[in-house]
Amino acid sequence: MNNSQPATLLEAIKFFSDPETCQKFMLAMRWPDGVIACPNCGRTDARYISTRQLWECKDKHAKRQFSVKVGTIFEDSPIGLDRWLPSLWLIANDKNGISSYELARALGVTQTTAWFMLHRIRLAMQSDDYTKMDGIIEVDETFIGGKARFMHKDKRAEKITGTWATGKVAVMGLLERHGPDGHSTVRTTIVANRRRHALSGQVRSQAKEGAEVFTDAFRSYDDLKMDYIHGVIDHAEKYVEGRIHVNGIENFWSLLKRAIKGTYVSVEPFHLFRYLDEEAFRFNSRRATDGERFLRLAKRITGKRLTYAELIGDATTPT
């Protein structure tokens, strides 16, 4: 990492308090090759308007003027980069996440604004790696949702109508042990149910045929032996047998649930996948320093956008 870049939160706050520094940093993230291209037409000879810190494309078309925010998760946000960039640092490096209320107090914005900012950042945390996992892969599933004993009796009667898992969301995880960069990485997805077509189908879409796949004794995984070297650990008897175990992915579940229960308290199923992306990003970059993890996230801000209408699922809300 460049020595001029911040290495701690305090340094990041000081570093990004200067608008010119924010502009230079964003230029490096937005156009790493140094060629500033118009986001609409791609032309590379835009005129810089220093008084407004904008570029103006020489072609005449709609939205010919653009800033460093255009084409990133920050687009159309009135919040300054001096607040956005430290926010990136906070959510990237806080092991248990940061709540919208805490961020709102830290930045001096409303809770709704902070909530929207955090979800935009979670979009940047979403992985773009579509290569299949290989080697040794641990597979497990869990349920995310409130515990019945903590619910008001009316809410409990509304949500809990069947087995203990009713009203909860099923989440599946695959952990590749000791991947290409030397440490385990995880991928998560929400599944409709725990039936065979849902669980084994996800394994086949994420893991290379012939890889070693370790699961518990849940019967929905039985057909994996047709395409994989399938190792099974029966938790009714033991938790480890040689190298066959799913302790790695279960450790990830504990980190995820600690963040949800301890920091976010209540997560709507509609938004759960964003919190999965957040926790997976931090887990997969856990060997990096705070500064390196921040830069890794900052490099993902381009080409992604989330409007408020999309976030709340309301097409009638202005973007």
- The Cα 290–Cα 84 span in angstroms is 17
Complete DSSP assignment for 161-174? SSSTTTTSEEEEEE
Question: How does pLDDT run across 126-180, given as a tens digit for each residue?
Answer: 998 889 999 999 999 999 986 544 445 555 555 545 454 567 999 999 999 987 6
For the chain, the domains span 9-127+300-312, 136-267
pLDDT in tens, the chain (319 residues): 455 789 999 999 999 999 999 999 999 999 999 999 999 999 999 999 999 989 999 999 999 999 999 999 999 999 999 999 999 999 999 999 999 999 999 999 999 999 999 999 999 999 988 899 999 999 999 999 865 444 455 555 555 454 545 679 999 999 999 876 778 999 999 999 999 999 999 999 999 999 999 999 999 999 999 999 999 999 999 999 999 999 999 999 999 999 999 999 889 999 999 999 999 999 999 999 999 999 999 999 999 999 999 999 875 655 5
Question: How does pLDDT run across 179-191, given as a tens digit for each residue?
Answer: 767 789 999 999 9
How high is the mean pLDDT of the chain?
90
**To 5 degrees, how large is the angle CA 200–CA 138–CA 278?**
95
Q: What is the DSSP letter of 192?
A: S
CATH 3.30.420, applies to 136-267: yes
Edge-to-edge strand order for the sheet containing 185-191? 185-191, 169-176, 136-144, 212-216, 229-233
In the block, which residue shows the tokens 């709704």? 112
CA distances from 317 to 14, 135, 312 (A): 36, 46, 9
Q: With left for phi above 0 and alpha for psi between -120 and 50, is residue 34 left, alpha or beta?
A: left
- The Cα 19–Cα 125 span in angstroms is 24
pTM of the model: 0.89
